[in-house]
Amino acid sequence: MHQISSYFFMYIKIVLTDKIPFVMMMGIPLGIALLYSPPDVQTMAASDYAMYLSSFWVYIILATYLNGIGLELARMREYGLMKTYVMISGNKYTYILAILSAQLVFAAISLSLFTIVVTLVHGQFALSYLVTPLLLLLGSIPFALGSVALTLLPVKVSSLMRFANLLAFPLFYLAIKQPDVWFGYANPFYALLQLSLAIVHTVAQVDVSFNLMMTLFALVGYVFVGLFAIQRFNLISSVTR
């Protein structure tokens, strides 16, 4: 436990002092939400505004997991740093758990700042809108585990980073437009968006449509994928020796 907390505080200092993640994970969504908001945003119905916010919450959370967990673990391994950390801690799970915890804190800060600023500017501030993304963050932990699956791909981090970030935008757009079909839950953006709507419905008592059963199945699936990826996570890069 002491090793986890030591790695956590070390990593959280790195994350919170690096301006690039804040710009990528919160700055871009914040700019879009403020500069390109619908003209009737201040008078939008609660259900429409909840769906509007949900898409941004989903992006912030999954972008944090993608870059802060999946790609970060692949980067650390390629640079040979994972072997050093494991030699100190005795196992790979300690450092993975520390990174996951640090990224959850980072995502919580990003979500809170984003929601407070946007809802105040739009004149739609409500406590339920502040609570909902934090509950969504807790419910999204299966996706944090699932992001480790990126480390199973036998490609260099530079290529993996380009591929993952290029793929993220079409998946995000598809999640907003696609119909509710079972194979759509393989898209993490869509599965998490459904979870967000379920939480909005419960917390804010907003009448929105969602598929709770398929969402729960998807969460279980991402947990299994994540646990499998963590178990198979190799400390030595297969592309860089």
Question: Which structure tokens are listed for 178?
Answer: 């696609």
Question: Which structure tokens are listed for 57?
Answer: 């919450």
Q: Does residue 108 contact residue 25 with C-beta atoms inside 8 Å?
A: no
pLDDT for the residue numbered 222: 96
pLDDT for the residue numbered 218: 94
Q: Does residue 98 contact residue 7 with C-beta atoms inside 8 Å?
A: yes
pLDDT for the residue numbered 11: 78
Average pLDDT of the segment spanning 138-164 = 89
The residue written with tokens 């299994």 in the block is 224
What lies within 8 Å, CB to CB, of 105 at 6+ separation is 12
CA distance 63 to 9: 21
CA distance 142 to 219: 6
3-state SS track over 14-73? HHHHCHHHHHHHHHHHHHHHHHCCCCCHHHCCHHHHHHHHHHHHHHHHHHHHHHHHHHHH
CA distance 109 to 216: 26
For residues 69, 75, 79, 80, the Cα torsion angle rounded to the nearest 10 degrees is 40
Contacts 24+ apart (CB under 8 A), 171-177: 172/55, 172/58, 172/59, 175/55, 175/58, 176/55
In a domain, 180, yes or no: yes
pLDDT for the residue numbered 2: 65
In a domain, 241, yes or no: no
What lies within 8 Å, CB to CB, of 227 at 6+ separation is 145
Higher pLDDT, 89 or 215: 215
CA distance 112 to 9: 20
pLDDT for the residue numbered 157: 83
In a domain, 34, yes or no: yes
Q: Is residue 78 pLDDT above 90, yes or no?
A: no
In a domain, 237, yes or no: no
pLDDT for the residue numbered 58: 96
In a domain, 240, yes or no: no
What phi, psi does 39 have (nearest 5°)? -60, -25
Domain that holds residue 78: 2-232
In a domain, 136, yes or no: yes
pLDDT for the residue numbered 79: 80
Confidence of residue 204 (pLDDT cuts 50, 70, 90): confident
In a domain, 158, yes or no: yes
In a domain, 38, yes or no: yes
pLDDT for the residue numbered 36: 86
* Number of domains the chain is built from: 1
Average pLDDT of the segment spanning 50-56 = 91
Average pLDDT of the segment spanning 89-112 = 89
Q: Does residue 102 contact residue 8 with C-beta atoms inside 8 Å?
A: yes
